Amino acid sequence: MPQNLLAITIGNTRTKLGVFVEDNLVDSWAVPNTELSQGLAVPLAKAHEHLRETSDAVAVLASVNPTLTDVVLGHVAKITGLSVLRTERDVPIAIGRRLDREAIVGEDRLLNAAAAYDRLKQACIVVDAGTAMTIDLIDGDGTFHGGAIAPGAQTMLDAMHWRTAQLPEITFDKPLEPVGHNTVEAMRSAVFYGMRGMVRELTEQYAEVTGGFPMVVATGGDAPVLFEGFELIERLVPELTLLGIAVSLRRWREAVDGEE
């Protein structure tokens, strides 16, 4: 059955919201976490407009930022009136896992994997370039194996400024050319090409594990700057985490219906 859904994912830097009507993502927003108290009002009001004529709409929330979860839940209840389900607690994330017993994995990584495998149905690598950059492997059977976690682009630049006496505080952007002819461009060049190089090296290492080169999918706030035109990245999917919520809700409902 087509589903109507408000998907919400709270990250380290931003909270993203997406409205699915009859299984189609019809609208999405990103709100900086520093502006949640004011910034959620308009997206949630618009989400309510999209969903108020449906009788089966629900909200599903995923979070890697527990301190903000109650804030978002309060706004959702007040503005939309929707019942809210939580990923993993109420709705299992639809991806198999091969991890160490003690491993704790961010829900965003699992949701990205679920969405990527649901669409591709083959071994793939998901690169999420945000506050941190994760490079994760999903095998051909749809099993999440984990991967690598590195500082994100802005995090690297901030660390250079904070830990040195003379390197300036700058924002991340694509360098003008590989050879930086001033300090700012040198810093940007190192981060930009270093992160691309990390993805290339790990893709080659993961290919050894899978016996072939998996398709590489990228998401996250810095992905367009880092990977636009990068031949290794086959797809840029900005809303991958939200799509993972929709996939997981659908699979969970199918499993519940199958038990009845």
Please identify which of the residues 108, 118, 128, 139 carries the catalytic annotation: 108
Catalytic, 108? Answer yes
HSE toward the beta carbon, residue 165, CA cutoff 13 A: 0
**Exposure pattern of 219-230 as b/e (b: 16+ CB <10 Å)?**
bbbbbeebbeeb
Strands 84-86 and 132-138: unpaired
Query: Which residues are known catalytic residues?
Result: 108
